[in-house]
Amino acid sequence: MRYFLVLLLSVVLFGDSYDFDEYKFVHAAATEFKKSGNISFDGDKTIITYSEPKYKQIISSDQNISIEGSSGKIYRLKGKALFYTKQYITIMTKIDDFKELKSNRDFDVKKEGGLYTLSFKGEIEDQIPKAQVQTEDSKVISFKLFMKNSDTLEIVKK
């Protein structure tokens, strides 16, 4: 389930639509994985499409999240997976909004130049204690999440 959540973490990142590279470090295996894709936002709907190394599409809409693999089979998340994934998507959306970095009740912010270090509060702190967000010209260009289990997930806009 942890892999599933980390995969879904990469979903919601920055603005209307953009390409990204995702770097996931799994501490237990001492291995880094790279994926590439595109994310788009349309109102309350978020669509993440991985193109490399393998096609996968994640769609978050209303209170539902579905995942479609390269075979075309669609899975709908339920229970804890749905709860945590929705939570991650909400946090990622907030991290993407430069204005939210300055004042948000879900995290404390420490700024050094263009690097913002976020310390999460509440339920999300149990999964993601902190994040670093790199900005340039008042725009988020990348962020890195630090998980409780020492895994990391970094998203870099192309």
pTM: 0.80
What beta strand segments (E) does the chain contain? Answer: 17-26, 31-42, 45-52, 56-61, 64-69, 74-76, 107-112, 115-120, 130-136, 139-146, 152-157
pLDDT tens-place string over residues 120-134:
888 888 888 999 999
Tokens of 67: 């995942």
Give the contacts of 73 (CB within 8 A, at least 6 positions apart): none
Residues of the chain falling short of pLDDT 70: 1-15, 93, 103
pLDDT tens-place string over residues 21-33:
999 999 999 999 9
Q: How many residues does the chain have?
A: 158
